[in-house]
Amino acid sequence: MCDGGWEACRAHGNFTAMQLQGAVLFVRDLERMAAFYRDVLGFAPIADERSDVWAPFDTGGTRLGLHAIPREMVCEGDTPSALRPREGGPIRLDFLVADVKREVERLESLGVTVLRKPWGACHVVDPEGNVFGLSSV
């Protein structure tokens, strides 16, 4: 035990860094979103953990879970088809790909919205407006 705060603990070797195990994305249409992350992005479903409100995926190094928002919590008129890219949100997931240019071409050929940034970055928009980044090795 270290009583001197996290900096003192770290200096004495008593600090264990956290690792991101996964992320949860709350979604309005679980089936539609699960199909997107499975069929378009190629994430592997974890079938034995799937339920009516939960769709987890193995993304290679971490897990991404899609969790259905209860219908009573969704505002009327707030349908997935009406959503715009939510670039101003406090969190953006970034996915690692072998070749950003080829992945962007593939996604665009499937009708996925890609946002090209002035500084060269490419952000992708899922069917509910969540924005994620792409980067390469």
In the prediction, which pLDDT does 3 show? 58
Q: How many CB atoms lie within 10 A of CB 79?
A: 12
Integer-rounded Cα radius of gyration of the chain: 18
Q: Residue 21: pLDDT band by 50, 70, 90 thresholds?
A: confident
Closest CA to 57 of 10, 18, 93: 93
Note the pLDDT tens digit of each residue in 31-51: 999 999 999 999 999 999 999
Q: Delineate the domains of the chain, giving CATH numbers in brackets.
A: 20-73 (3.10.180.10), 85-137 (3.10.180.10)
3-state secondary structure of 84: coil
Note the pLDDT tens digit of each residue in 76-104: 655 554 456 777 777 889 999 999 999 99
Beta-sheet strand order (sheet of 131-136): 93-97, 131-136, 122-125, 113-116
Q: What percent of the chain has pLDDT over 70?
A: 80
